[in-house]
Amino acid sequence: MDTLQNAINGKLTSSKSGKAQPVYNPATGEPVTAVPLSSASELSEAVAAAKNAAEAWGRTPPLKRARHMFRFKELLEQNSSKIAEAISREHGKMLNDAQGEVNRGLEVVEFVCGIPHLLKGEFSRNAGPEIDTHSDRHPLGVCAGITPFNFPAMVPMWMFPVAVACGNTFILKPSERDPSAAMILFDLFQQAGFPDGVLNVIHGGKEVVDAILEHPDIKAVSFVGSTPIAEYVYATGTQDGKRVQALGGAKNHMVVMPDADIDKAVDALMGSAYGAAGERCMAISVAVPVGEETGNRLVEALTPRVRTLKIGPYTDPDAEMGPLVTRQQMEKVLGYIDLGIQEGAELLVDGRGFKLQGYENGYFIGGTLFDRVTASMKIYKEEIFGPVLSVVRAKNYAEAVDLINAHEYGNGTAIFTRDGDAAREFADRIEIGMVGVNVPIPVPVAYHSFGGWKRSLFGDHGVYGTEGVHFYTRLKTITSRWPTGIKSGASFQFPSLN
């Protein structure tokens, strides 16, 4: 079995750590490759390469950087099916889902192809007596990204294309669970003609993460993962003087109003709760029907759909849901189902014990549905990250809003209704970073920005869009006056127009 290599200064290099772990096909439980657990010294080699490339790349005209990005975009389009195949083989998600992931990452690359316009500064003539002021944005230097297993291509493309287009160099630390897609991205990046050292890839675990957070030459760190790790990354990185954006966990609710189209609401819940086996930070894991009658109608329509969910490997074109990413994740989700029963939730559809003929060693769980879940239960409070949907019934609209606003996570939410007033009021009142109105997974397009509230995001900037450009640059403002406009004599008054 081959072991993946790191990518340092434009070249693939085998790790010298002597440590590696297998990467599994979650549908079969069989190893497909191995990933090195690199050392802190290898991370330092990558940082040195990135630092060496940073000055020249930062001075490269934005239009030239954009031309490289256009070529990268073309190569991504030509190789999208190859990337999707690598994602599905190591993550387990369906091929069409993996292709959708690649396409959404591609949108960010398309966005930063416009970097000459995005980096345009501002100019004010005669801001004061014969004084002009202009501002522009400068790259930070070496940046790094630590990415999760659930989107092994899309999330890296949320980060390094934006950073690189802004004139920075980048260190990417992919997830150890499905790292092959990142290596394809690196290969295509090099083919696009970017200089060596602009993008480097280092595989590893906590040792590499800590080395990234502590290295003095890394100026900014982007992270997506669980809330405890996001908080650790943010606290550690900022303590060492870095700029950090750390996206954490979620518990996304979907409110179903009495006037909603129940069939459309059920369609939305099926895709958003069980797509990718629920391993999405924007998955809907809580349905909140408003009123007992609405709850009864929703559960009655939803239950048979969950029972007949088509589950299989990514090679099955008819499958709707695949396995969990690892055995450990599968066991964790099974533990939450057991806990939900102990806590008194009503288990309508039990995904435990699901076995697929020919794939008995795969990490499969059937779709699971709980009703009568309450806000005091752990299965409500905590992020399960699996194919488990909880129904929490609200007596009225106000109770539904209060329920969502009281939760510690504030990543995404949705409301299904025909009432424009209710939808507008919901979008205004809800304390959540991303809101969908009759849209179950409200992931913003690339020219807006992605980011939650509360304990779903640590830091001041969301990712990609203009927020991403601002995160990976710093503002400089220049105020100038030439000798012909300077009057003789010192002035001790603070400058103003009065």
Catalytic residue IDs: 281
Q: Which residues pair with 205 in a beta bridge?
A: none
| Euclidean distance between CA atoms 76 and 84, whole angstroms | 11
- To which H or E segment does residue 107 belong? helix 95-112
How many C-beta neighbours within 10 Å does residue 201 have?
25
DSSP code, position 484? G
Q: Which residues pair with 199 in a beta bridge?
A: 170
Give the sheet arrangement for strand 412-416, strand by strand.
346-349, 368-371, 388-391, 284-289, 252-256, 412-416, 434-437
3 state SS of 172: strand
Q: H helices of 314-419, where?
A: 327-343, 378-381, 397-406
Q: Which residues pair with 476 in a beta bridge?
A: 136
| Euclidean distance between CA atoms 254 and 199, whole angstroms | 39
| Euclidean distance between CA atoms 329 and 144, whole angstroms | 26
DSSP code, position 10? T
> Cα 99–101–103 angle (5° rounding)?
70
| Euclidean distance between CA atoms 79 and 77, whole angstroms | 6
Q: Which residues contact 67 (CB under 8 A, 6 or more apart)?
A: none
3 state SS of 339: helix
Q: Which residues contact 24 (CB under 8 A, 6 or more apart)?
A: 30, 31, 32, 90, 326, 327
- To which H or E segment does residue 87 belong? helix 80-91
Q: What is the CA radius of gyration of the chain?
A: 25
| Euclidean distance between CA atoms 413 and 419, whole angstroms | 17
How many C-beta neighbours within 10 Å does residue 128 have?
14
Q: Which residues pair with 414 in a beta bridge?
A: 254, 436
Residue 212 tokens, joined: 């990234």
Q: Which amino acid is at 48?
A: A
Q: Which residues contact 496 (CB under 8 A, 6 or more apart)?
A: none
Q: Which amino acid is at 220?
A: A
Q: Which amino acid is at 378?
A: K
Burial class (CB in 10 A: 0-12, 13-18, 19+), 213: buried
Q: Which residues pair with 6 in a beta bridge?
A: 13
